[in-house]
Every structure is written in structure tokens, then in C-alpha cells.
Amino acid sequence: MPRRTEFDLLRGALLLGMALTHLPTRASAYADQPLGFISSAEGFVFLSAFIAGGTYARLLRERGPAEMRRRARKRTLQLYLWHLSLMVFAFTAVAALAIIGGRPVLKNLLSFYLEQPLYAIAGGVVLLYEPPLFDILPMYIVFLLLTPWVLRMAQARGWSRLLVLSGLIWLFAQLDGRALVFEGGRLASGWPLPIESMGAFDWFAWQLAWMAGLWLGARDAGAKDRGALAPVYYRPQLLGLALGASMLFFLWRHRLGGWSIDLGSASFLLDKWHLGLLRLLNFAALALLVSLILPALARLRIEVLEVMGRASLPVFASHLVICVLSLGLVDDDRTPLNSLQEVAVVALALSSMLFVAWRATPREPAAARAAPEPSGAQP
């Protein structure tokens, strides 16, 4: 699949947003959900699924299901090894810093591991134990592992049934189905892992973002015009609704112009971890607008973001390491970092991410980066 420089730029921007959000600095308040009730996580999951859908759907058509499965398994194994590396880092360096250094935030981060180390290690290996900040990669691994099966089903029976099923699973998540499944599994297995140690992301809800990305990515890969979605999505009325909705959500998020609504008991409609309905609408509207400017993004060259986007996996891991270690500088929620510490932490995180990106990206001329890659673009 040809290299999509606009996607590299988007992934780099999303990684930058993640880092600034996760670092314990005042910049987090500005980097978290700056465009509405949408975080970098939604964009990263959807974009990863879009690229995966395009890449593996093309492999399925051109080289068959066996090659598609082989490529997907290879990529999944890479992700899993990175996950294990991050778990080893958490169970050794972070745990030692938490105990020896007496860092309360890190102790809270690894509370279950410090109480039940053997169960935590086993849970980390099988993707069940997911400490805060370490929970997006296991979800990504499982979704990518299931992607070849989804694409084969879509090829055989079409996308309609799969998308309806995905919507029903999302609805199950809104009814707190995750807790029901967890409680049943806990009673059957006797596993002492508390549900809060299984990560904040509700996989039953977030699979909808992945499925939508797969569908649109596979659809885009099959279109004659590879650089854009099909014209049906660009009807003026739909674009007007998307623009209006995005503006309203932006004003609501930042309480501008007196536009603010207190949802009260209906706040679950904007819940991030369960992908509430209003959050989904906000994301759909914003994603449609972003897709409209993709051709312009393809011509916009921001090398710093592109290089981070091309090496998204090691850059993501490096940002996670710096963010977790920086939490060791925080004594408690009432004693934040001072200004000098904040500047140092942000500078270290961004420079580390960029260094890792440059080391992980093969040096090649710009013309070569625009040429088709024989092995397919990695999601």
C-alpha cells in the first residue's frame, strides 16, 4: 500500500497530543480534548483501524487470505512484544521507584501488582492486567488479531451485518455489559483481579471505533480515487451538519459564548471510556471534516510530525516511559510540578520521542517515501 504522508502527519499529531495529555504538567489541561469531546485516543484507534482495513483488505484481494493472516500475525506479534517490554519496565523500574523512592502516585499506578505480583504478572502476559496508561496497547493487539477474521467475513457476507453486530455490542457496553461479563468470569475462574485493574477502556464499546475504521479503510482501498472517501460522503447538507455539530461541541467543551449544558445523570452520553453517544457524534462530525482536508494534509510537510507518525509504535512506547517516570516527580495531586520541572519534563518527552522516531525510521529521500511500499504500509 502506498505511503500516505497525510496519515503519518495525523499519527504524529495524535502522538504529540497523547504525550502532552499524559504528562503531569499544566499543558495537559490544554492538550486534552482541545477540539471538543474528543481525545487523541479516539483518533489514534480509528486511524489505526482505517490503515489496517486498507492494508489488509488489499492483501486479501491481491494475495489471498493466507498472506493477509501472516502479515497481521506478524504485526500483532510486534505489538505484543512491545507490550511485554512495557510490562517488564512497569514491574521492575517503575515498581522499584515506587517502593524504594516512596512515590505515592506510582504506588497507586501499580497497586494491584504490589498487592498480588504473581497474578498481576500472569494478567499482564494474557492482556488482562492493564495499569493506567498501559491499557491502550492490549486493546489494539486484540482488535488487530481479530481483523483478518472480520475482513474475511466482510468479503463473504458484506459489511452490513458486521456493522449492525458491532452496534449491538456497543449498546451492550452502554448497559454496563463489561461489568456483567467480568463478574461472570471472576466467579467462574476465581481470579482476584479487580475490574478497575483491567484498564479504563471498555473494549465492547471501543470495538465500534475499530470496526468503523476497518470498514472505511477497506472501502477507501477499493475505491478508484485512493486519496479520498467516496463522493457520497461530501454532500453539502451533511458537511454543513458536521461543521455545525463540531462547532457546537467545541463551544460546549470550552464553555464559550455561554454555550454549556449540564447533563447531570445523563453524563454517560459523553463518557470517554464507554464511547458515549454524544462523543461518537462529535467524533463522526470531526472525522468527516478531517477527511475533507486530507488532500491538503498530503501536501503539508511537517517533517517532525511525519517522522513520529512513521515510527508510531516505538514513539508511543517511548512517550509512555517518560510519562510514567515523570509521575514519580509528583508527590500528590495537591503538589504539582513547578514551572522549571514542567518545562524539563515536556522537553525531555518530546526530544526522546523525536530521537526514537529518527532512529527507528530508515533514512530515505522524500521521493522514495512517496513511492509504493512493496510490503504494505503498517497500521
State whether 86 and 217 are in the same domain. Answer: yes
Q: At 54, which amino acid appears?
A: G
**237, 246 contact by CB (below 8 A):** no
| Residue 245 domain flag | no
pLDDT digits (tens, 9 = 90+) for 99-134: 998 888 999 999 999 999 999 999 999 999 999 999
Domain boundary pick from 177, 206, 231: 231
**91, 76 contact by CB (below 8 A):** no
State whether 46 and 23 are in the same domain. Answer: no
In this structure, the number of other CB atoms found within 10 A of the CB of residue 90 comes to 24
pLDDT digits (tens, 9 = 90+) for 333-364: 556 788 898 999 999 999 999 999 998 887 55
State whether 226 and 126 are in the same domain. Answer: yes
pLDDT band at 4 (very low <50, low <70, confident <90, very high): confident
For position 334, what pLDDT does the model report? 57
| Residue 131 domain flag | yes
For position 263, what pLDDT does the model report? 84
Q: Which domain holds residue 153?
A: 39-231
Residue linked to cell 515510527? 311
**324, 86 contact by CB (below 8 A):** no
Burial tier of 304 (Cβ tally within 10 Å: 0-12, 13-18, 19+): middle
State whether 18 and 72 are in the same domain. Answer: no
Is 335 strand, coil or helix? strand
State whether 28 and 48 are in the same domain. Answer: no
**46, 212 contact by CB (below 8 A):** yes
**218, 155 contact by CB (below 8 A):** no
What's the rounded Cα separation, in Å, for the pair 80 and 71? 14
* Count of the separate structural domains present in the chain: 2
Domain boundary pick from 211, 231, 251: 231
Is pLDDT above 90 for 266? no
State whether 311 and 215 are in the same domain. Answer: no
pLDDT digits (tens, 9 = 90+) for 67-97: 999 999 999 999 999 999 999 999 999 999 9
State whether 5 and 60 are in the same domain. Answer: no
What's the rounded Cα separation, in Å, for the pair 195 and 186? 9
Please provide the average confidence, as pLDDT, over all residues in the chain.
Answer: 88
State whether 208 and 310 are in the same domain. Answer: no
State whether 213 and 316 are in the same domain. Answer: no
For position 57, what pLDDT does the model report? 94
Is pLDDT above 80 for 256? yes
| Residue 170 CB-half CA count within 13 A | 22
| Residue 246 domain flag | no
Please compute the mean of the pLDDT values over residues 235-253 and round it to a whole number.
90
